[in-house]
Structure 1
C-alpha cells in the first residue's frame, strides 16, 4: 500500500491536552475499523498549529474519506516517494 503524509491545520494543536489527543486517536481508530478497506495509521506529529500524520491506504481518496468520516481536516495529502535517513548515506550504490 502507498504511504501518505497528511497535513492537518488545527489552530492550537500544540495546546491539545493528553485527553483530547486520546479522543482524537480513538476516533481515528474507530473510523479506520469502519472503512472496510486496508488502512494503517502509523503515527502523527503535533507541531504548532498542525498535525502531520503518516498513513498507509489504497488511495488518496481513502485518506480523504478517513478525514471526512472522522471530522478531521486533511489540508494536504501527498504520497511518499522515498524514505531517507542518516543510514541512507551508507547504502551501497
Structure 2
C-alpha cells in the first residue's frame, strides 16, 4: 500500500500539552476505526510534532483517503505527498 507524508500546519502546535496531543490522537484513531469498518484501509504510522506543524506518515490506498481522514477528524492536511523512496546514511554505502 502506498505511503504518504502529510503536513498539517498548525501554528503553536508544539506547545500543546500531552493531554491535548492524546485527545487529538484518540480522535484520529476513532476516525481510522470507522473508515476501516467502511472498508477503507487507512493506517497511521507515526507523526512528528514541530513548533508550527505536525508531519504524519500514513499508509493508504490513495491520497483522497488521507484527505478524507483529515476532513472527518477536523485536522488540516495542507499537503499530502506520496513517499516514493526512503533513504538514510546507509543508502550511501
Question: Is TM > 0.5 for Structure 1 vs Structure 2?
Answer: yes
C-alpha separation in 1, matches of 2:42 and 2:90: 28
Cα offset, 1:87, TM superposition: 1.5
Partner of 1:11: 11
Gaps spanning 5+ residues in structure 2: where?
none
Partner of 1:45: 48
Cα offset, 1:48, TM superposition: 1.3
Aligned residue pairs total 90
Larger Rg: 1
More displaced stretch, 14-23 vs 34-43: 34-43
* TM-score normalised according to structure 2 size: 0.94
* TM-score normalised according to structure 1 size: 0.94
C-alpha separation in 2, matches of 1:40 and 1:83: 18
* Deviation beyond 3 Å, 4+ runs, structure 1: none
C-alpha separation in 1, matches of 2:83 and 2:89: 18
